[in-house]
């Protein structure tokens, strides 16, 4: 939701509309013409550049899907920038091995989404959790010929924008001075969760709190020093409390700081 709100409020779609339209037409003319012609008998390459609404309707879905896919890629990249490793953990937790049924055409397929995330994580110097890539199963592609062709074109076009979208996220984050995950802070919060079973003592950022929470959640040895089964049974609930309370403590510090 956050990424979509940013995409909407900053009118980022406008930056890519022309590029995507040109990309779709170029792909149709140069690489997919034979398939297109089979589905649209009697078409001529020159027709594609016309404003004829009937001709436009034959390729417009590819444009719409490429634009939607670009927005989704942007959202993934922004989520990754903001929440670092914790975004990848949450992504895996929520979507692996796959959402059932055919892929959603407004998203890159899951294989490509993972590829983009791994690429962006490398650029942003974010560690990729072990086994992340293999957590996901392939999604069903559409079988209807026209849809199959057009979504494949949308995939190709949105794929070419990945680098531009990473840069867009980085520029936006720099302009807005967005916080990035700080490994020292993550480690400090993690120690508070792990050693004392208390929420954070100071004001911390959301990303540091979430990353500390995920690290503790994935640590099977956590609270071994306390060594009581009841603690391990309630691990998720306790961690949830510590994470949410840490956010409340940080809000408290933020609000009282402003009033000084």
The binding site for other proteins (CB under 8 A) comprises 195-201, 226, 228-231, 234, 237-238, 241, 244-245, 248-249, 251-253, 255
> Which is closer to other proteins, CB of 179 or CB of 245?
245
> Which is closer to other proteins, CB of 46 or CB of 260?
260
Q: Which has the closest alpha carbon to 23: 69, 54, 78?
A: 69
> Which is closer to other proteins, CB of 26 or CB of 235?
235
Q: What span, in angstroms and rounded, lies between the C-alpha atoms of 192 and 99?
A: 36
> Which is closer to other proteins, CB of 51 or CB of 259?
259
Residues 6+ apart with CB under 8 A from 103: 109, 110, 139, 140, 141, 142
Smallest gap from Cβ 235 to other proteins, in A, equals: 11
Smallest gap from Cβ 94 to other proteins, in A, equals: 23
Smallest gap from Cβ 82 to other proteins, in A, equals: 22
Smallest gap from Cβ 228 to other proteins, in A, equals: 4
């Amino acid at each position: 939701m956050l990424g979509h709100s940013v995409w909407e409020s900053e009118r980022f779609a406008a930056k890519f509309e022309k590029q995507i339209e040109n990309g779709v037409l170029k792909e149709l003319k140069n690489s997919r013409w034979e398939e297109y012609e089979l589905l649209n008998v009697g078409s001529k390459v020159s027709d594609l550049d016309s404003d004829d609404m009937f001709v436009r309707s034959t390729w417009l879905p590819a444009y719409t899907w490429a634009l939607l896919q670009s927005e989704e890629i942007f959202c993934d990249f922004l989520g990754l920038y903001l929440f670092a490793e914790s975004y990848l953990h949450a992504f895996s937790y929520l979507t692996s091995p796959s959402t059932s049924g055919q892929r959603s055409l407004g998203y890159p397929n899951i294989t490509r989404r993972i590829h983009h995330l791994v690429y962006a994580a490398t650029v942003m110097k974010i560690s990729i959790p072990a086994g992340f890539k293999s957590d996901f199963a392939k999604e069903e592609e559409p079988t209807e010929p026209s849809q199959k062709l057009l979504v494949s074109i949308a995939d190709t076009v949105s794929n070419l924008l990945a680098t531009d979208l990473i840069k867009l996220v980085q520029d936006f984050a720099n302009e807005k001075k967005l916080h990035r995950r700080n490994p020292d802070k993550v480690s400090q919060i993690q120690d508070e969760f792990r050693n004392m079973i208390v929420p954070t003592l100071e004001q911390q950022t959301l990303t540091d709190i979430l990353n500390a929470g995920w690290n503790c959640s994935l640590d099977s040895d956590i609270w071994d020093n306390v060594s009581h089964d009841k603690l391990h049974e309630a691990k998720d609930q306790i961690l949830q409390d510590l994470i949410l309370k840490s956010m409340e403590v940080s809000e408290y510090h933020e609000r009282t700081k402003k009033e000084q």
